[in-house]
């Protein structure tokens, strides 16, 4: 069973500071790490491979430095790594990013499962995983917390919800996004680290992927960032106490005053 894991390199948010003028992350001098949720995606991919055989290919779209994230994924047990890197990708929003990733998946071809993290710790949209599945026209299950059963054609997984979980059975190939309840990521092994050091990271650009140039980069991205700001904190609710009829009156008059 061949598995593709999609990882994003992100700034280590425990060290990140925000520029108070632009409200953007100060990325300079900040260590880059694999998006924490993607560590669970990598671990799940490797666990499935260990159980079912096959190989794990890890992909990432990003600048050349993202090679470090891919090497780390190899040290954790992934077999092959592909970096999708091209100046033309710069400025891609979640839609364009997932398009590029889906093109890479098509080029890889033979796969049963794609695993993404639940969301990225910097962008935080949780859109890229679902985006890839839509571009590919394959099913998706988000927030997977357990893979219960897998056969050649189907998978049964538990999907975390706010109240509990759902059990979903899906045909393969399929895309999962995973939550941190799914496993406990291992530490790298020495052999893995050595393998990672020697590993050739394959690099694909827009042309290699046969991308439609209108769908990538800033120009290919429908999102326009108009303004970035910190939303004001939500005010605390008010709890009214007393006899019901009094509370109703009070509520009505408060609402009248507010609006």
Partner 1 sequence: MDILLTEEQKMIKDLCRQIAREKIQPVAAEYDEKEEFPWPIVKILAESDICGIYIPEEYGGMGGGVFELAIATEELSWGCGGIALAFAATGLGAFPIILFGNDEQKKKYLPKIAKGTMAAFCITEAEAGSDAGSIKTQAVKDGDHYILNGTKQWITNGGEADIYTVIAMTDKSKGARGATAFMVEKGTKGLDFGKKEKKLGIRGSATREVVLTDCRVPKENVLSREGMGFIVAMKTFDYSRPGVAAQAVGIAQRALDEAVSYAHQRKQFGRLISSFQGLQFMLADMAIQVEAARAVVYRAAKVVDSGDKSMAKISAIAKTFASDVAMKVTTDAVQVLGGYGYMREYPVEKLMRDAKITQIYEGTNQIQRSIIAASLIKELKKK
Ligand X SMILES: Cc1cc2nc3c(=O)[nH]c(=O)nc-3n(C[C@H](O)[C@H](O)[C@H](O)COP(=O)(O)OP(=O)(O)OC[C@H]3O[C@@H](n4cnc5c(N)ncnc54)[C@H](O)[C@@H]3O)c2cc1C
Residues at the site binding ligand X, with contacts judged by CB under 6 A: 6-8, 35, 37-38, 41, 60-62, 91-94, 97, 101, 116-117, 119-120, 122-129, 218, 221, 223, 225, 228
**Candidate residues 191, 247, 248, 249; the one interacting with partner 1 per rule CB under 8 A:** 191
Q: If we measure between CA atoms, which residue out of 182, 66, 57 comes closest to residue 113? A: 57
Q: Residue 189 touches which of ligand X, partner 1, none (CB < 5 to 8 A by kind)?
A: partner 1
How many residues in the chain?
Answer: 259
Q: Which is nearer to partner 1, 149 or 191 (CB)?
A: 191
Binding flag, residue 36, partner 1 (CB under 8 A) = no
Q: If we measure between CA atoms, which residue out of 132, 56, 134, 143 comes closest to residue 92? A: 132
Burial class (CB within 10 angstroms; exposed 0-12, middle 13-18, buried 19+) of 44: buried
The structure tokens listed for 63 are 């600048």
CA distances from 161 to 42, 74, 127, 198 (A): 22, 31, 17, 41
**Candidate residues 156, 180, 186, 203; the one interacting with partner 1 per rule CB under 8 A:** 186
Binding flag, residue 188, partner 1 (CB under 8 A) = yes
Number of helical H runs and strand E runs in the chain: 6, 13
Binding flag, residue 250, partner 1 (CB under 8 A) = no
Q: Which is nearer to partner 1, 194 or 251 (CB)?
A: 194
Binding flag, residue 197, partner 1 (CB under 8 A) = yes
| Residues of this chain that bind partner 1 (CB under 8 A) | 186-191, 193-194, 197
């Amino acid at each position: 069973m061949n598995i593709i894991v999609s990882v994003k390199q992100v700034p280590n948010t425990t060290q990140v500071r925000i520029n108070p003028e632009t409200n953007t992350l100060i990325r300079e001098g900040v260590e880059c790490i694999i998006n924490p949720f993607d560590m669970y995606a990598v671990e799940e991919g490797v666990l499935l491979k260990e159980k079912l055989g096959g190989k794990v290919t890890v992909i990432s779209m990003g600048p050349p430095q993202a090679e470090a994230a891919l090497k780390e994924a190899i040290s954790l047990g992934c077999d092959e790594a592909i970096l999708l890197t091209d100046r033309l990708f710069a400025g891609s929003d979640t839609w364009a990013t997932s398009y590029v990733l889906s093109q890479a998946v098509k080029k890889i071809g033979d796969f049963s499962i794609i695993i993404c993290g639940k969301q990225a710790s910097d962008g935080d949209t949780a859109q890229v995983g679902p985006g890839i599945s839509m571009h590919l026209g394959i099913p998706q299950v988000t927030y997977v917390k357990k893979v219960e059963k897998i056969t050649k054609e189907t998978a049964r997984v538990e999907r975390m919800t706010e109240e509990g979980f759902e059990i979903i059975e899906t045909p393969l190939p399929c895309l999962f996004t995973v939550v941190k309840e799914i496993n406990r990521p291992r530490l790298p092994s020495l052999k893995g680290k050595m393998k990672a050091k020697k590993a050739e990271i394959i690099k694909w650009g827009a042309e290699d992927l046969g991308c439609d140039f209108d769908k990538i980069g800033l120009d290919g991205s429908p999102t326009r960032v108009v303004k970035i700001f910190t939303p004001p904190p939500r005010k605390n609710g008010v709890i009214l106490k007393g006899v019901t009829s009094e509370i109703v009156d009070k509520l009505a008059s408060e609402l009248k005053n507010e609006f």
